[in-house]
Amino acid sequence: MSRDAPRSPRDRILVAATRLLAEGGRDAVTTRAVSAAANVQAQTIYRHFGDMRSLLQTVAADGFQRFLTAKTRREHGTDPVGELRAGWDLHIEFAEANPAIYTLMYGERRPGPGADESTQVYEVLRGIVEQAAAAGRLALPVDVAAAMIYATGIGVAMTLITTDPTDLPAAQSLSATTRDAVLGAVTVDALEQPADHAADDVARHAIALQALLVADGNEDLGPAEAALFGQWLGVLARREAPAANPPGGASPD
């Protein structure tokens, strides 16, 4: 859709609602205001969108599409952990540049328009997490790591766009410090060789093998074999290192 010269009534309505939302928040998106800004009758809004709630859902869906476009247009590197860092920063930048639309996108759970787009955003993130796993860079199972990054990123973004910076002394560094803390918890360094933590090493390789098997499609394994092997790898991926002996070398009771 051309944002500079929308031609159809539907496009004009969507552009008007998006602008009103950005300038005045959700309360500014009323039937009367949208009608005036789009130069249409109220019934035209209802004919194209059903009601104002559906119109706002479509605005949110359009926001997700713009965010996905920004992610796909960005130049990508070869380091999956670096890609996770860049993706986090892009997410926060989009939220701060579009606070009202971002709040509409993530502030409430809704069916209908926007649901598929939000799933696509998560799947893009999960795909990069899978790449990190296949490279042996993931310390946690793919779904756990992806969920942690996704949820924490949204939480930081919502905090930054809804909190007065004077009420949050660490606001300026909040995104970077949280990003580094989360990625530090779910990834490992490419050169790290945790010889003194054999269980951690086993878990990391199990996670990598899980991701590689998914990417390969398990063509050499039957459904039952793939399910059983996946179950074994899942157990190894969640394996915990044994507790260290207490000072003096005595074994724990």
- Please say if the pLDDT value at position 129 is more than 80: yes
State the pLDDT at residue 195.
47
Same domain, 64 and 188: yes
Same domain, 210 and 230: yes
Q: How many CB atoms lie within 10 A of CB 174?
A: 17
Same domain, 183 and 207: no
Same domain, 93 and 180: yes
Domain region containing 32: 1-50
- Please say if the pLDDT value at position 235 is more than 90: no
Does residue 248 sit within a domain?
Answer: no
The tokens describing 177, both together, are 């410090």
Give tens-digit pLDDT for 151-210. 999 999 999 999 887 888 788 899 999 999 999 999 988 655 444 454 456 565 556 555
Q: How many CB atoms lie within 10 A of CB 71?
A: 19
Does residue 180 sit within a domain?
Answer: yes
Same domain, 45 and 121: no
The percent helix, strand, coil of the chain (3-state, each to 5) is 70, 0, 30
Same domain, 77 and 46: no
CA distances from 243 to 133, 199, 202, 233, 251 (A): 25, 11, 16, 22, 10
Confidence category of residue 139, pLDDT binned at 50, 70, 90 = confident
Say how far apart CA 122 and CA 150 lie, in whole Å: 7
Same domain, 28 and 89: no
Does residue 37 sit within a domain?
Answer: yes
Does residue 33 sit within a domain?
Answer: yes
Q: How many domains does one find in the chain?
A: 3
Does residue 251 sit within a domain?
Answer: no
The tokens describing 184, both together, are 């530090």
Give tens-digit pLDDT for 9-22. 999 999 999 999 99
Does residue 253 sit within a domain?
Answer: no
- 217 Rama class: left (phi>0) / alpha (psi -120 to 50) / beta: left
State the pLDDT at residue 221.
62
CA angle 149, 151, 153 (to 5 degrees): 65
Same domain, 1 and 28: yes
